[in-house]
Amino acid sequence: MKKWKALVFFDLDGTLLDAESNISTENKQAIIALKQRNVLPIIASGRSPKEIHTLTRGTMIDSYVSLNGQYNVVEKKVVSKHIFPMALVEQLIDVSASFNHSLAFYTDKEYAACYKTASMEKLYRLDNAPLPKISQDFHTKNDLYMGYLFSEDKEKDAIYQEKFANTLTFFRDSPYSLAVVLKGQSKKTGIQQVINTLQLEGIPSYAFGDGNNDLGMFEAVQTAIAMENASVNVKQQADFITKSHVDGGICWGLYHFGLLQ
């Protein structure tokens, strides 16, 4: 395995991606230049492996922390994955149905939802992503790594957190949805598993992010970089604030820290 000089973790939405959920030519060139300088670029996102592969095509990225730390890959090799127990899945479906909140479940290759709701449509429109297929038995036929709960009822968030306090973690990552992962899993733990696999605990590590689910990522690296479009809370936890994701913020931050010249 190659000896890297530094590690740089990138969130996707609101960070590496532009307003149309694409990686700009400028950012693609920056990532390629990082690898040429023996700096390893790694995606750290709530998105699925399939989405990451599609979005990063042409960038030379082959390492990622996906599904908020539930499925993690280093140089095309899976280093850790965390499967939802079926009894827990069924309990979550029952509770969400009582509030008329649909759920989508993600494997490493595809995703499907129990039924369609307006909140679901708003979320995938926001992410410029295809709607999940609708299936009543998808969860019984696949290993599931992450759930997406579609809810605009923020006052209900605490109910989920209380009912599943010992088993699940809920990250509200949009006005329309909460990502659901196993208790103890997050971008932070996924990044730690990647760094341990690479045996590169001592080298410089950086992370670019904009959302609340990036705060754990910030804790796992030496230097946390918030985008200008990040929330006030995220900016307060960062070591440096770069320009926005639509104003060259990735390259600005990389040049600032001497990762690009």
pLDDT average, residue stretch 26-39: 96
Instruction: Compute the distance between CA of residue 102 and CA of residue 16 in angstroms, rounded to an integer.
Output: 29
Are residue 111 and residue 176 in the same domain, yes or no?
yes
Q: Which domain holds residue 31?
A: 6-81+185-256
Q: Do both 91 and 175 map to the same domain?
A: yes
Q: Do the domain assignments include residue 1?
A: no
What's residue 198's pLDDT? 86
Determine, yes or no, domain membership for 56. yes
pLDDT bucket at 32, cuts 50 / 70 / 90 = very high
In which band, very low, low, confident or very high, does the pLDDT at 64 lie, cut at 50, 70 and 90? very high
171 and 133, same structural domain?
yes
Please give the average per-residue pLDDT across 44-68, as a whole number: 93
135 and 96 housed in the same domain:
yes
pLDDT at residue 1 above 80?
Answer: no
Mean pLDDT, rounded, of the chain: 95
Q: Are residues 66 and 153 in the same domain?
A: no
- What pLDDT score does 214 carry? 92
Per the structure, how many domains does the chain have? 2
* 152, 182, 212 - which closes a domain: 182
Residue 33 lies in a domain: yes
**Is 70 exceeded by the pLDDT of residue 217?**
yes
Give the pLDDT of residue 212: 86
Q: Are residues 142 and 109 in the same domain?
A: yes
pLDDT digits (tens, 9 = 90+) for 121-170: 999 999 888 999 999 999 999 999 999 999 999 999 999 999 999 999 99
Question: What is the DSSP track for the chain?
Answer: ----SEEEEE-IIIIIS-TTS---HHHHHHHHHHHHTTEEEEEE-SS-HHHHHHHTTTTT---EEEGGGTEEEETTEEEEE-PPPHHHHHHHHHHHHHTT--EEEE-SS-EEESS--HHHHHHHHHTT-PPPEE-SSHHHHS---EEEEE---GGGHHHHHHHTTTTEEEEEEETTEEEEEETT-SHHHHHHHHHHHHT-TTS-EEEEE-SGGGHHHHHHSSEEEE-TTS-HHHHHT-SEE---TTTTHHHHHHHHTTS--
Q: How far apart are alpha carbons 246 and 15 in whole angstroms? A: 8
Contact (CB, 8 A) for 31 and 258: no
Residues 96-122 pLDDT 10s? 999 999 999 999 999 999 999 999 999
Higher pLDDT, 198 or 122: 122
| Residue 166: both structure tokens together | 């010992």
Residue 200: pLDDT band with limits 50, 70, 90: confident
Q: For residue 218, what pLDDT is reported?
A: 97
